[in-house]
Amino acid sequence: MSDFFDPGPNPNVTDPGGHKANHDVNAQKYHTQGVPGFWSEVINLFIVVAIIAVIFLLVWIF
């Protein structure tokens, strides 16, 4: 029986086919959408702040 300090042997969970498939999906996403950059993060932050502000205004009005 394994415990916290002696977890036992590591199971072989590597899947080369799965790793390649994941890599191919990520590569396709980067080729079509591009790497998320600074401006996309700023726009996302602005959208979140605007939504919170609208919710705050609705609560304050009603």
As a three-state string, the secondary structure of the chain is: CCCCCCCCCCCCCCCHHHHHHHHHHHHHHHHHHCCCCHHHHHHHHHHHHHHHHHHHHHHHHC
How confident is the model at residue 30, as a pLDDT?
A: 81
| 27, 21 contact by CB (below 8 A) | no
How confident is the model at residue 57, as a pLDDT?
A: 95
For 38, other C-beta atoms within 10 Å of its C-beta total 7
Task: With a cut of 50, list the residues of the chain below it in pLDDT.
Answer: none
How confident is the model at residue 41, as a pLDDT?
A: 87
